[in-house]
Amino acid sequence: MNKVYLDYNATARMRPEVIDLVTKVMHEVGNASSVHDFGRHARKYVEDAREQVANLCNVTPDQVTFTSGATESINTILSGYRDKRILISAIEHPAVIAAAGNNAEKIPVTSDGIVDMDAYKRMLDNETPPALVCVMLVNSETGVIQPIAEMAKLAHEKGSLFFTDAVQAAGRMDISLDTLSVDFMALSAHKFAGPQGVGAIIRGSGLDFPKFMLGGGQEKNYRAGTHNTAGIAGMGIAAEWALNHIADYKKIQNLRDTMEQKLRQISNQIKIYGEQAPRVGNTTNVGFPGIPAQTQMMALDLDGVCVSSGSACSSGSFKASHVLLAMGASEEDAKSALRISLGWATTQSDINRFLESWEKIVKRATQ
């Protein structure tokens, strides 16, 4: 039985050209910091990739710093602000919540999963403006797009810096740094069909950021450690592909929208979280009250369909999603939510398989 993969927000299938280039580089040798021919050849892979990632974000190559992934990028930026006033949204990725520390103030969100702008303005209008505001561009669980440009403008008026986790936005919408008006941005290659274990910090022109990985002078002293040459090369070609194929997400959105219509035909009891808000075209977070998400996931998995949950598993205990709770969902409803995320290799056949399998689950539960 062919497996159906609908968990692109966890990690995307790698593009064939990415696999080919990563494999080619891994057959070669050379440290990108070495000055001999092998080192210079490795350095070219790194610098070519830097230009490709820069193009994706509409910045210059010197504004791109490679890291091991978005979690490191997030920890790097937030490490310099833990003793200062930080605002984060209530629906941030766990990496932001943990890295920001217990003193970070959480901006509430509406029932649609969009930052409550009135509350945000009140939090900015403080005797001590925040040193940093950190809000994700696209939520990983619901796909809801935040009004980052407007939020960044308001933060800058107060003298605050603005950092956005753009991990789930890359390749799905415009992430031009100037358009978003942010100071720092985090990316992760494996979310846009690149390899796992490589990411980047994108910084505004002329801005510095805290040193987190200390050691050698790699990445112009911004991030120490031997370059992951193969991974970086893969990130570069994935970024180039993502930039050139953003329009393809219209097709993916059509698949997603049709899927949601058919979900409603199967059951009018479902709730699609963030449905009325702007969303990227590949993500659906759907809840069916009364059927725990882990029950749905296991049944789907046994049927060869792989999706994710709107909740997180920690130490073997199933927890309600903090994102859905912040949107006003009850704990029981939050624990019934599935995240279905599509990508470049998703087909109508995949969607049909998911719908057929999910319909069987619903019928068993309602008989």
- How far does CA 197 lie from the centroid of its chain? 14
Name which of 152, 186, 154 is nearest 67 in CA terms: 186
Q: What is the mean pLDDT of residues 328-334?
A: 95
| Tens-place pLDDT, residues 265-298 | 999 999 999 999 999 999 999 999 889 999 999 9
Give the DSSP per-residue string, 115-167: B-HHHHHHHHSSSS--SEEE--SB-TTT-BBP-HHHHHHHHHHTT-EEEEE-T
**pLDDT above 60 for 93:** yes
DSSP 15: P
DSSP 187: E
Query: Whole-angstrom Cα distance, residue 242 to residue 173?
Result: 10
- Which two tokens mark 333? 């409803």
Q: What angle do CA 263, 280, 184 make, to 5 degrees?
A: 150
Q: Do 178 and 63 meet the contact criterion of CB atoms below 8 Å apart?
A: no
Q: Do 218 and 197 meet the contact criterion of CB atoms below 8 Å apart?
A: no
What angle do the packed helices 229-244 and 37-57 form, to 10 degrees? 30
Q: What is the mean pLDDT of residues 246-256?
A: 92
Q: Does domain 4-12+247-366 have CATH number 3.40.50.1820?
A: no
Q: Do 162 and 155 meet the contact criterion of CB atoms below 8 Å apart?
A: yes
- Which two tokens mark 236? 């570069």
Q: What is the mean pLDDT of residues 140-150?
A: 97
Among the residue ranges 86-90, 191-195, 252-256, 363-367, the one predicted with the least confidence is 363-367
Q: What is the mean pLDDT of residues 322-334?
A: 96
Domain ranges of the chain: 4-12+247-366, 16-244
| pLDDT for position 88 | 98
| Tens-place pLDDT, residues 13-46 | 999 999 999 999 999 999 999 999 999 999 999 9
Q: Do 149 and 366 meet the contact criterion of CB atoms below 8 Å apart?
A: no
Instruction: Please provide residue 283's backbone torsions phi and psi, each rounded to the nearest 5 degrees.
Output: -115, 135
CA neighbours closer than 13 Å in the CB half-sphere of residue 156: 14
Share of the chain above pLDDT 70, in %: 98
Q: Which amino acid is at 152?
A: A
pTM exceeding the 0.85 threshold for the entire prediction: yes
**pLDDT above 90 for 311:** no
SS3 content of the chain, % helix, strand, coil (to 5): 45, 15, 40
Q: Which residues contact 344 (CB under 8 A, 6 or more apart)?
A: 12, 13, 15, 193, 245, 248, 252
pLDDT band, residue 246 (cuts 50/70/90): very high
Among the residue ranges 14-28, 182-196, 301-315, the one predicted with the least confidence is 301-315
Give the DSSP per-residue string, 243-310: HHTGGGHHHHHHHHHHHHHHHHHH-TT-EETTTTS-B-TTEEEEE-TTS-HHHHHHHHHHTTEE-EES
- Catalytic residue ranges: 313
**pLDDT above 90 for 312:** no
pLDDT band, residue 315 (cuts 50/70/90): very low
Q: What is the mean pLDDT of residues 164-186?
A: 97
CATH topology agreement for domains 4-12+247-366 and 16-244: no
CATH number of this structure's domain 16-244, picked from the four choices 2.60.120.10, 2.40.30.10, 3.20.20.140, 3.40.640.10: 3.40.640.10
| pLDDT for position 310 | 66
Q: Which residues contact 70 (CB under 8 A, 6 or more apart)?
A: 93, 95, 165, 167, 186, 187, 188, 191, 199
Mean pLDDT of the chain: 94
| pLDDT for position 314 | 44
